[in-house]
């Protein structure tokens, strides 16, 4: 069976921080409401003129610097995003160009909403089956602030910008994936425009909340069933960081150990596709991940889509 492993992680978080108090000067909200409902304290936002490709390139460079692989040997660069700067050129083509990658390296963007990183890893696993000797660079990068309506308090407080990247390669150690799309295309939407004079992200919050809780649990159970493992065998669970309350609800419902579940939504808000790899990069930098650890990841988002992956660090 062909499997995938992560060689190194990289990340790029924009320096500009928007606190809850900053937002309360823009819309009718307050720190107490946002923290109580979401666990979010702040989010990072790209500066004027800074693009998705800028942060994607920095995250990619960081991951490559940390990997002992020659960038010229990359078979592909895949960028998961729903907030590209342009329809074309793709973010991946721009990053490919800026890094001066080998012309034979495939550059591909993938929009899997908040499951983007999981779906990009799944795609990478398929490509690795065709060419097991060449590593792949998986990037997840979002400039969500570019599609947010900063007059809509129900959505603008939830999201943030950021990018993370993983150099991946074939592995002999098994990895498992689950994925699904469950209708309800009206629950979360974002029109394909960037003029900023029309509504941006729209969301039926409570419906998404309920879906998220059942979806995360379904992905965890399916991955455990596939792998024959128990939740107690997993060192780390990394859920899509949309709302701390969703993760706490899942922990309680599963009777799980909260120490297994990493959470950084308080610092970044919801960075969509970037949220899971950003968490992984932070865990890696903090020395929380050790070779041999089992890491289970779950995503959910617009579509409504869901997905998960279980691999060995």
| Active site residue ranges | 114, 240, 270
3-state secondary structure of 169: strand
Contact stretch for ligand ACO (CB under 6 A) within 41-49, 83-91, 160-168, 239-247: 239-247
Rounded CA-CA distance 222/216 in Å is 10
| Residue 150 near ligand ACO by CB under 6 A | no
Residues 268-297 touching ligand ACO, rule: CB under 6 A, are: 270, 272
Contact pick of 80, 157, 281, 295 for ligand ACO (by CB under 6 A): 157
- Other beta carbons within 10 Å of 111: 15
Smallest gap from Cβ 156 to ligand ACO, in A, equals 8
- Residue 242 found at the interface with ligand ACO (CB under 6 A): yes
H runs (alpha helix) in 131-254: 153-156, 205-227, 244-254
> Nearest distance from residue 241's CB to ligand ACO, in Å?
9
Determine which residue in the list 209, 227, 235, 260 makes contact with ligand ACO, applying CB under 6 A. 209
Q: Using CB atoms, what's the residue nearest to ligand ACO?
A: 205
Residue position matching structure tokens 């889509």: 305
What ranges in the chain are assigned the alpha helix state H? 20-24, 31-38, 52-66, 91-99, 116-130, 153-156, 205-227, 244-254, 265-268, 275-285
What minimum distance in Å lies between the beta carbon of 275 and ligand ACO?
A: 8
Query: What does the CA dihedral 258, 244, 44, 152 come to, rounded to 10 degrees?
Result: 180
Specify the pairing of strand 294-301 against strand 17-19.
unpaired
Q: Does 208 interact with ligand ACO (rule: CB under 6 A)?
A: yes
Query: 35 or 50, CB closer to ligand ACO?
Result: 35
Residues making contact with ligand ACO (CB under 6 A): 29, 33-34, 37-38, 113-114, 153-154, 157, 188, 203, 205-206, 208-209, 212, 242-243, 246, 270, 272, 301-302
């Amino acid at each position: 069976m062909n499997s995938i492993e992560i060689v190194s992680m990289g990340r790029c978080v924009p320096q500009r921080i928007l606190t809850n108090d900053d937002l309360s000067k823009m819309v009718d909200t307050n720190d107490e409401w946002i923290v109580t409902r979401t666990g979010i304290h702040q989010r990072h936002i790209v500066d004027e003129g800074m693009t998705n490709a800028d942060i994607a390139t920095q995250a990619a460079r960081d991951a490559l610097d940390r990997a002992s692989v020659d960038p010229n040997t990359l078979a592909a660069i895949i960028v998961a995003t729903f907030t590209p700067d342009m329809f074309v050129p793709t973010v991946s083509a721009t990053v490919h160009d800026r890094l001066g990658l080998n012309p034979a390296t495939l550059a591909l963007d993938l929009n899997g909403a908040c499951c983007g990183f999981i779906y990009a890893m799944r795609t990478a696993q398929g490509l690795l089956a065709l060419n097991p000797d060449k590593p792949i660079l998986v990037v997840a990068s979002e400039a969500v602030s570019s599609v947010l309506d900063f007059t809509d308090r129900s959505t603008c407080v939830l999201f943030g910008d950021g990018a993370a990247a993983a150099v991946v390669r074939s592995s002999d150690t098994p990895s498992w994936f689950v994925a699904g799309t469950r209708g309800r295309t009206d629950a979360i939407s974002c029109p394909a425009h960037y003029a900023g004079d029309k509504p941006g992200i729209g969301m039926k919050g409570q419906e998404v909340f309920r879906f998220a809780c059942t979806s995360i649990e379904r992905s965890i159970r399916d991955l455990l069933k596939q792998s024959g493992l128990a939740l107690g065998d997993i060192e780390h669970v990394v859920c899509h960081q949309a709302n701390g309350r969703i993760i706490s609800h899942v922990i309680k419902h599963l009777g799980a150990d909260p120490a297994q579940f990493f959470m950084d939504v308080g610092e970044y808000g919801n960075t969509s596709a970037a949220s899971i790899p950003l968490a992984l990069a932070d865990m890696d930098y903090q020395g929380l991940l050790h070779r041999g650890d089992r890491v289970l990841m779950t995503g959910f988002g617009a579509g409504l889509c869901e997905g998960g992956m279980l691999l060995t660090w």
